[in-house]
Amino acid sequence: MIEVRSLVFDYPGKRALKEVSFSLRQGSITALVGPNGAGKTTLLRCLAALEEPVSGTILLDGRDILADPRATHRQIGYLSDFFGLYEELTAQQCLDYAALSHGVDPETQPDWILSCARQLEIDGKLNQKAGSLSRGQRQRLAIAQAIIHRPRLLLLDEPASGLDPESRHSLSLLFRRLQEAGMTLLVSSHILSELEEYCTDMLVLQEGRIIDNTPLVAREEQALFELRVAEALPDLENALLQLAGVEIVRVNQGSALISCSSDPARQHELLREMIAGGLRVCAFGQSKQNMQDVYLRTVQGDRQKGVR
Amino acid sequence: MSNNPEFRKNVWLELSGYRVIGMPLVIGSVLFLAYVSNARKFGAEISQTAGSLYFLITVLWGTKLAAESIMNEIREHTWDGQRMSVLTPWQLVLGKLFGSTIYTWYGSSICLAFYALSVPDTPYARILETVFSLVFAGILGHAVCLLASLLSIQKERKFVKSQTTAILLLGIVAVTPFVSLVFSREKPATWFGNSYGGPEFVLLSTAAFAAWTILGVYQLMRRELQMKNSPVSWFAFVLFMMIYLAGFLYGAKPGAGFEGINPAILVAFYVPLGATYLMAFIERKDPVTLRGVEQLVRERKAGAFLQKAPRWLLTAPLVAVMAVVMVAGNASNGTILKTAAFVFAVLLFMVRDLSVMLFLNLADNNRRAELLNVLYLVMAYAIVPIIVEAVHGDMATVLFWPITTQPLFLVVVAPLVEMAAALFLLSGRWRRKVAAVRG
């Protein structure tokens, strides 16, 4: 669907994206996560052909979007983190303008607008001015504008920021519906627990580099384990690093959260190795894996590599 | 135009029911007041008042709306949505040019109608010329605002209220001379030795400048939409300005200090020179842009280079071409050495100034680089030379001005040394900057 190769983007005095390469599967919902300043918004803007990178290629279904940005805008929808609406227009006029300016056929336009408004649950607000809508309704209207032309790829930058829990939940349901309708979504957010509800893939960006791009389903072959030792051990981290197939998520002198194979036989083997190695294990149990842990594990693992 | 979504959106925003009713009521009241205060005569007073109202509505108010049309999109974060649309550059340009100002055109058309009906003792053809000249002047002012807005956001994508005010003032400054010419142009214009009727010349000039400005807006809009732009329109505009301005000095006698140089050719030489300096101020000069251009040169991508190179960089060689033309034009009249020294010194000063401007822009803290550039030019060409001249006499002025009354050797060597020093400073900073970004 989307293939990015060796993307480099510079701001004056700073390289924001460093040889970024990854691909997105058709019909996936990918979480784009990373610390502040990692380059997430820059990457989304490059994908939306709003910024021109120094070098690299972005292919949308094999077509280079940098070679002809205007042609690909028909297939891409983008919601910026600081989206704007024409406050003095009604929601209906906002959607009319979005549809017309995205080349929606005037004959099908009323149906598309109505169906989009229903999908976003703003069909009852179409005659209200955008400026009079609540934060959640404005967010929905902005998303409706971004998908009015039924894009194949939807890029969303912090779409849930400022929304209450109920609105966030319905946003999650909406993203799933869009995915079921065949759309591919790339969602940048800091709220990992929420991304977990609907994301199928995770793309971790750190200091302008992609450090992980694995489908989340594959992670189920791994499991997280909470480990406790009977007495504080200053060298616990080093001891765990000696064990094959173990990744440390977090560690202190008395406990650790580690990632290892979800195979019970391998877990048994691992426990035996730890005890044989002199670790006074008093608790070893599976911990619920969540995106937060996966993210932290990835980011910290990358930092450890950097230190070494 | 009604099929243009951008125009339609602006109509929705600008033309509400109350506003549509309000405008004729206000204009009608003012004109009625003029009618009553002029012994109920429908004549000169009414036409003058209608003309003044036109100026107020189109020039002052309309330029404000035009100046805000793009800057407000930036402020309200709707600009990216427009850039992501499939609207063509022409749809956006015309939709904004005539859509954002639609309400003022609504009022202006009422004023122009009253003006045309009430102006006394004037043939219909002359009235039509005046009306069209005023319309073109209004369009010119609005287009200048759009042009300045696009240049501003392409340099730095942010909304600053004072910038919008500056753009508005620029629009007013651009249009006011044309409007005043429309109302005071009975004198014929002499152009390339031929005499033309004043009103006709003003009408054609205003229309031409409006058309060039709209073409400029179109080119910038294309760039904003990530479309490729060839430099043909830019060169055509520079050429037009060279010919247009040269026409006024055709056949004029050379000025003091420029003996033997045809004033028309001299002004045609100054046009690309001025355009180079102007664009060097306006365009981006950050390391990313410059490195992109450098990369295209290294890769010998001539087509992409012409599309992406800053216009000042492309115009500078045109100054050199005009320098050769000027020297060649003087080959037979005995002042060739003087002319050659003059144009060569001008070229060296130009390279020096461009190097200094780039040097200041490549500084780590370059937030006030453009202000420093202005300060530098004022110091280099005005304050320091005057002080030095007062202290050391005339000869020292060769350090600052291309003055051919001094020994010709010094006229060339002085800027040559200065240019070399400026290039040395620039290359050092450039290498450091590139190394920093590459990490």
Report d(CA A286, CA A251) in Å as an integer.
Answer: 16
pLDDT number for residue B437: 66
Amino acid at A16: A
Q: Are A75 and A63 in contact (CB under 8 A)?
A: no
Contact B250, B192 (CB under 8 A): yes
Query: Using CB atoms, which residue from A73, A86, A89 is nearest to B84?
Result: A73
Amino acid identity, position B224:
E
- Interface confidence (ipTM) of the complex: 0.86
- This prediction's pTM: 0.86
pLDDT for the residue A307? 53
Contact A124, A134 (CB under 8 A): no
Per-residue pLDDT tens over the stretch A111-157: 999 999 988 888 899 999 999 998 888 988 999 999 999 999 999 99
What pLDDT is attached to residue B104?
Answer: 96
Extract the tokens encoding B204: 């054609």
What's the start-to-end Cα distance of chain A, in Å? 36
Which residue is associated with the tokens 């006011």?
A: B176
pLDDT on residue B158 = 76
Residue of B nearest to A149 (CA): B85
Residue B136, token pair as written in the block:
């073109």
Chain A residues with beta carbon closer than 8 angstroms to that of B76: 84-87
pLDDT at A288 (0 to 100)? 63
Token representation of residue B151: 């240049």
Q: At what angle do helices B336-361 and B408-438 cross, to 10 degrees?
A: 20
Interface test with B, best of A94, A100, A141 (most B CBs within 10 A): A100
- What is the pLDDT, as a whole number, of residue B137? 94
pLDDT of residue B285: 87
Q: Quote the pLDDT of residue A90.
A: 95
Question: Shortest CB distance from A86 goes to which of B13, B85, B364?
Answer: B13
pLDDT of A167 = 81
Q: Which residues of A touch B (CB under 8 A)?
A: 10-15, 48-50, 52, 54, 69-70, 73-74, 76-78, 80, 82-89, 93, 97-98, 100-103, 145
Nearest Cβ partner for A100 among B5, B83, B364: B5
- For chain B (439 residues), the mean pLDDT of every run of 10, in chain order, is 89 90 94 85 85 92 92 91 92 96 96 90 88 94 94 82 83 85 78 89 94 96 91 96 94 77 90 95 88 89 91 94 87 79 93 94 83 89 85 77 80 92 94 75
Q: H or E element: which one contains A283? A: strand A281-287
Q: Per 3-state DSSP, what percentage of chain B is helix, strand, and coil (rounded to 5)? A: 80, 0, 20
Q: How far apart are CA B105 and CA B107, in angstroms?
A: 5
Backbone phi and psi for residue B404, each to the nearest 5 degrees, phi listed first: -90, 10
Q: Residue ranges of chain A with pLDDT lower than 70? A: 214-221, 288-290, 304-308
Handedness of CA A44, A50, A55, A60 (dihedral sign): positive
User: Are β-strands A209-215 and A201-206 bridged in parallel, bridged antiparallel, or unpaired?
Assistant: antiparallel
Instruction: Map out the domains of chain B as residue ranges.
Output: 1-227, 273-439
| Residue of A70, A79, A83 best to disrupt the B interface, most CBs of B under 10 A | A70
B76 and A84: CB-CB below 8 Å?
Answer: yes
What would the two tokens of residue B165 be?
């005010």
**In chain B, which residues have their Cβ closer than 8 Å to the Cβ of A93?**
9, 12
